[in-house]
Copies of this chain bind each other. A is one copy, B any other.
Amino acid sequence: MNIGQAAERSGLNSKTIRYYESLGLVEPDRAENGYRDYTSDDVARLRFLQHCRAVGFNLDECRELLALYEDPNRRSAEVKALVMSHVAQVEAQLEQLETMRGTLLSMAEQCPGDDHADCAIIDNLAQPMPFKLV
């Protein structure tokens, strides 16, 4: 099948698929007219990549997962380790965002939000370091 249909079936768009190919992630055959020709296995690989990206793996991690996906001799322990290490990264990001959220809300609380120039948010952001994050 052509790239458009592969895109539809995998949930990726054509540009992304070509980009992934440029990284060597999925390498389809070519038809006589030069068009890429995807098998259903290729589409399965693309869909796998789409799912990996959807849970936040970066493309290097996706590559590793794809290799494990294709390896009949994989150990599930290795897959699980990759996932748990990624969970740790996600949790670090969550913490950072929660801290930001807390700081923003506590600054906003002190700000009247009216027509005057006085603004606790500006005052806080202008404060000399160290900047106190909640």
Which A residues form the contact surface with B (CB < 8 A)? 11, 44, 47-48, 50-52, 54-56, 65, 68-69, 71-77, 79-81, 83-84, 86-87, 90-91, 93-94, 97-98, 100-101, 103-105, 107-108, 111-122, 124-129, 131, 133
Closest 6 CB pairs of A and B: A76-B119, A80-B113, A51-B125, A56-B100, A77-B113, A51-B131
Closest residue on chain B to residue A93 by CB atoms = B97
Chain B nearest Cβ from A120, distance in angstroms: 8
Q: Which residues of B contact A107 (CB under 8 A)?
A: 83
| Complex: A21 Cα to B114 Cα, angstroms | 32
Contact B79 A119 (CB under 8 A): yes
